[in-house]
């Protein structure tokens, strides 16, 4: 029994959860969840290394691919799907692939996580190159699907990152960087959608957000590349421009209405008293990084 993965072991603190009150159940789950951030803090250097790899590849025109099965796969798809509206990335820049395809987002696909053939097929379907980054996500780190993905990536000289909750994960052997968050036994034995899933979601947030910051998608702590696709996001864009430039709401709104809600250009237009076209050129000269563009002129 000593070879049982920690996430599959019985949690001694929750063995009476089935005879507990609703408040006690909530308390037990909350007590376990409070351990997650502390465990993640032990892996910050590995997370930072992963952010650097991803951002450097982005600057080369590369993409980020998340591969996973079950809960891990769904979390990868979720994080990838939130990048276009948050950072105005293309749909291709960050992609989440789940074993079993889109149907697996809603339904369990039998045998998907055990299939090396499916892994090879998914990997080959995306024309992954050495400028891309591959992240395999798995609580156990032993599923054939995620291990095979890393093997395929290594053969193509693609940078690889393993995200797992098992220090003895097979994925480690094929990963350039391993991020291991030891969340331990779950509230419900083996239910890795809980602590392990929460830890994975938190780390994925750090990877994409950190990489986007490094390539200039954020100014101070403002999402200056947000895609304003609804009223809430348009209002946020106006507030961002108003706060950065120290103008009133209506001045910022007017500039954004006239430049199709390009936040970075709007800031430069106001700060430098230049046209949209001039602001666009200034950004291009500074690789789209607003902080650099604010300190430069067109000359």
The answer for residues whose C-beta is within 8 angstroms of residue 270's C-beta and 6 or more apart is 241, 245, 247, 251, 252, 255
Same domain, 90 and 167: yes
Q: Alpha-carbon distance 179 to 46, whole Å?
A: 6
Q: Are 290 and 283 in contact (CB under 8 A)?
A: yes
Q: Alpha-carbon distance 274 to 276, whole Å?
A: 7
Residues identified as active-site: 82, 113
Could you tell me the pTM of the whole model?
0.92
Q: Alpha-carbon distance 80 to 241, whole Å?
A: 26
Q: Are 267 and 241 in contact (CB under 8 A)?
A: yes
- What is the per-residue pLDDT for 298? 63
Element (H, E) at 130: none
Same domain, 143 and 289: no
Is 220 domain-assigned?
no
What is the number of structural domains in the chain? 2
Is 219 domain-assigned?
no
Same domain, 235 and 210: no
Same domain, 173 and 98: yes
Residue 250, Cβ neighbours under 10 Å: how many? 10
- What is the per-residue pLDDT for 1? 42
Range of the domain at 286: 231-294
Same domain, 203 and 247: no
Same domain, 48 and 135: yes
Q: Alpha-carbon distance 215 to 260, whole Å?
A: 23
Element (H, E) at 150: helix 144-155
Same domain, 174 and 264: no
Same domain, 277 and 159: no
Same domain, 201 and 253: no
- What is the per-residue pLDDT for 3? 74
pLDDT of the chain, 299 residues: tens digit per residue: 457 888 999 999 999 999 999 999 999 999 999 999 999 999 999 999 999 999 999 999 999 999 999 999 999 999 999 999 999 999 999 999 999 999 999 998 878 888 999 999 999 999 999 999 999 999 999 999 999 999 999 999 999 999 999 999 999 999 999 999 999 999 999 999 999 999 999 999 999 999 999 999 999 999 999 989 999 999 999 999 999 999 999 999 999 999 999 999 999 999 999 999 999 999 999 989 999 999 876 65
Same domain, 40 and 114: yes
* Structural domain ending residue among the three candidates 144, 179, 214: 214
């Amino acid at each position: 029994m000593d070879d049982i993965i920690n996430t599959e072991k019985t949690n001694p603190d929750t063995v009476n959860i089935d005879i507990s009150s609703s408040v006690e159940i909530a308390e037990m789950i909350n007590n376990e969840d409070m351990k997650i951030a502390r465990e993640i803090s032990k892996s910050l250097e590995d997370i930072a290394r992963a952010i650097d790899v991803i951002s450097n590849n982005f600057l080369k025109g590369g993409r980020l691919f998340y591969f996973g099965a079950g809960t891990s796969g769904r979390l990868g798809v979720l994080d990838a799907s939130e990048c276009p509206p948050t950072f105005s990335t293309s749909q291709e820049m960050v992609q989440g692939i789940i074993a079993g395809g889109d149907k697996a987002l809603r339904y369990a696909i039998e045998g998907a996580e055990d299939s090396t053939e499916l892994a090879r097929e998914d990997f080959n379907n995306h024309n992954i190159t050495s400028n891309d980054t591959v992240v395999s996500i798995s609580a156990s780190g032993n599923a054939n699907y995620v291990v095979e993905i890393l093997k395929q990536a290594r053969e193509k000289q693609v940078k690889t990152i393993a995200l797992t909750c098992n220090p003895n994960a097979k994925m480690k052997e094929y990963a350039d960087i391993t991020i291991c968050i030891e969340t331990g036994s779950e509230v419900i034995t083996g239910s890795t959608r809980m602590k392990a899933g929460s830890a994975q979601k938190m780390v994925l947030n750090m990877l994409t957000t950190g990489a986007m910051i490094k390539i200039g998608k954020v100014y101070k702590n403002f999402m200056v590349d947000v895609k304003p696709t609804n009223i809430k996001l348009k209002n946020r864009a106006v507030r961002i421009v108003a706060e950065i430039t120290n103008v009133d709401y209506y001045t910022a709104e007017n500039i954004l209405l006239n430049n199709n809600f390009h936040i970075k250009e709007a800031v430069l237009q106001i700060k430098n008293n230049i046209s949209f076209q001039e602001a666009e050129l200034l950004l291009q000269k500074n690789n789209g990084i607003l902080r650099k563009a604010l300190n430069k002129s067109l000359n």
